Structure 1
Amino acid sequence: MACGGFVCSRYTLCALNILYMLVSLLLIAGAAWGKWVDLVSSFRVVAAIIIVGIFLFFVAMLGLCAAMKHHQVLLFFYMLILLVVFIVQFSVSCASLVINKEQQKLLLEIGWNKSEVLQSDLERSLNCCYFSEVNYNGTCKASCVGTQSCQPCSDKMLEYADDVLHFVGGTSLFFSFTEILGVWLTYRYRNLKGSRLNPRAFL
């Protein structure tokens, strides 16, 4: 049978969803490992990554079950969810790639002010103090406090922000195209007839 046929479409869709399941398990395991080795002590950050991983896992399971059973209703809802995820992910990835330095600093400051635990983590890992101005009389977790040679954390974070945003934006953009491929493949697969089915039974 040609690759555009029923069987090939089914197995391509299954392979795509298995890939999504592996990515979701990688997200969950990575977040759990980061918490276990105390790389990230912020529970909110870890919880957010795990929730995204679990959501992706269930979407992939839905797509896998729908593809194996050729279930019209499940395929429709899977296609709808994947389309919404594509729109959100494509928008975020484009924003990550075009954001300028001033906008980066503003977003970093908003994130900085939301969590004291995150502030402590960044001060320890980047060896810096406070966000935009160092205050040696305050409480800072960095080791540079003893030598009084600390830099503001905004300077250190902006050094890595461009690379991180371009990596996240590029990776997210790549996966968004796999999602639109999944939407197209699901739409096409829904309208194909299985070779073993009675044509009169197809809805």
Structure 2
Amino acid sequence: MVCGGFTCSKNALCSLNVVYMLVGLLLIVVAAWGKGFGIVSSIHIIGGVIAVGFFLLLIAIVGLIGAVHHHQVMLFFYMVILFIVFLFQFGVSCSCLAMNQGQQEKLLGSSWGLMSKDTRISLEKKLDCCGLFNNTQNQAVFMSDLHFCDAPCVKKSPCLTCGEKMLQHSSEALKILGGVGLFFSFTEILGVWLAMRFRNQKDPRANPSAFL
């Protein structure tokens, strides 16, 4: 059965907003997972991704309600805000994909330097590792951290450095966030176009003389 223009546009817009809600939740969950695994607050891009995911989730709900009720004002604000979200999401996703290992090491190093000894020990226990990076630039700091390290791995075998574990999780998180964010950011242009098209269509259920 072929649906009419109004019904097809409405169904397409509703489906697209359900996808946006799922994408928003995915961005928030993966970014929170990345922060929880030692990326810490040093990589502010992660915070930006959480903000984008939250606003995408919020505007998708507005778009869904606007599409169901063919609400002119809600659809207008939906189009404007979704386009702004697209710009931010595109920029943040590109930043995630462009961040190389060297930049991540510098950010993690600066964050590690700001931590107190107790915070470092707590993080080492959580990640089961000792110290940040065992290299010539950080040798003195690493030996000091190793002396106070109380991670479970100390009693079993040589521990991995926390920097290695952090980089592994941060790289995974940034690739997922960058890839998913970049791919779905282009669908948001489709969402803006669909909302504009749907908003200008006449609701067959409405009064024929009603303002569109």
Question: Fold-level match, TM-score > 0.5?
Answer: yes
Equivalent residue, structure 1, for 2:176? 167
Let me know the Cα RMSD of the aligned residues. Answer: 3.8
Pair 114,77 (structure 1): closer, same or farther in 2 beyond 3 Å: farther
Pair 150,80 (structure 1): closer, same or farther in 2 beyond 3 Å: same
Partners of 2:168 and 2:37 lie apart in 1 by 22
Q: Give a deviation string over 1:93-150, Cα, whole Å, max 9, x none.
A: 1111122221121233355567779856752454212323252222x35212335723
Partners of 1:26 and 1:160 lie apart in 2 by 16
CA contact (8 A) 1:41 1:118 kept: no
Partners of 2:159 and 2:96 lie apart in 1 by 29
Equivalent residue, structure 2, for 1:136? 146
User: Unaligned 5+ residue runs, structure 1?
Assistant: 35-39
1:59 partner amino acid: I
Equivalent residue, structure 2, for 1:188? 197
TM superposition shift of 1:6: 1.6
Partners of 2:71 and 2:21 lie apart in 1 by 20
TM superposition shift of 1:75: 0.5
Question: Among residues 191, 205, 211, which one is paired with 1:202 in the alignment?
Answer: 211
Pair 52,172 (structure 1): closer, same or farther in 2 beyond 3 Å: closer
Between stretches 173-182 and 55-64, larger displacement belongs to 55-64
Relative to total residues, which structure has the larger helix share, 1 or 2?
2
1:65 partner amino acid: I
State how 1:34-113 maps to structure 2 within 5 Å.
Answer: 40=36, 55-112=55-112
Give the TM-score normalised by structure 2: 0.69
Q: Give a deviation string over 1:36-55, Cα, whole Å, max 9, x none.
A: xxxx599x99xx79887665
User: Unaligned 5+ residue runs, structure 2?
Assistant: 42-46, 134-141
TM superposition shift of 1:63: 0.9
Partners of 1:187 and 1:73 lie apart in 2 by 12
1:69 partner amino acid: H
Between stretches 145-154 and 93-102, larger displacement belongs to 145-154
Partners of 1:111 and 1:87 lie apart in 2 by 28
Figure out how many residues of one structure are paired with residues of the other and give that number: 193
